[in-house]
Amino acid sequence: MASHEHDKKGPEDPEEPVVRNKRKIDPETGEARAGEAPSEGVLSADDLIQAEGPDIELSDEDTALLAEAERDLVGEYRERAARAEAELKNFRTRVERDRVANREAVIAEVIRTLLPAIDDLDRAEAHGDLTEGSPLAIVAQKLRAGFERYGLRRVGEAGEAFDPKVHEAIVQLPTPGVTVNTVADVIEPGYALGERLIRAAKVAVSVPE
């Protein structure tokens, strides 16, 4: 009987200690443990930051530094905007210039292919074949008017100074009294479209003896 009573643990017998971590906040992350909310009166890290935020006061030096940083940022964005606007304007200018150049190149090529027909009309007119009111004269008039509308002009006139940029010397004629090379006769007229030379004028040139 006594042995049985000795084997049983009485209320006075000590038990092994059991450790229970009842902390609601993870000591490593500062966050509430998963599945648990912080108990009343216990603040998380975010709560502490938000709670202390409104009470943070900046010194005059910090305020000045923030104002200077803000001014620098605003100035940088304004500079970027101005630079982007200038680049866009330059791009539009280049596009317009290229568009005009391409248009003139196409018109010049079309006119160049029609120059032999214009030369034939000029020769027919010189021989008196383009009588006023004749069908051929009307066609020539309309053709020339159409070219002039695009800015086509003749190059090469007798008596003007020889210019190798627009004249092609076919014949050189030593002439007394001539001091500079001068166009004596136009064998074949040249044509220019604006500043673009389509065909140089073939001329006879009077040169000093």
Domain ranges of the chain: 63-150, 153-209
d(C-alpha 186, C-alpha 122), whole Å: 13
Nearest to 148 by CA among 205, 207, 107: 107
d(C-alpha 183, C-alpha 164), whole Å: 11
Tell me the percentage of the chain whose pLDDT exceeds 90. Answer: 28
56: helix, strand or coil: coil
Bigger pLDDT: 175 vs 59: 175
Is this model's pTM higher than 0.75 or not? no
Residues 123-152 pLDDT 10s: 888 888 888 878 888 888 888 888 888 888
Residues 21-52 pLDDT 10s: 555 556 566 555 555 554 455 555 555 445 55
Of the options 3.30.470.10, 3.30.2010.10, 2.30.22.10, 2.60.40.1840, the CATH number for the domain spanning 153-209: 2.30.22.10
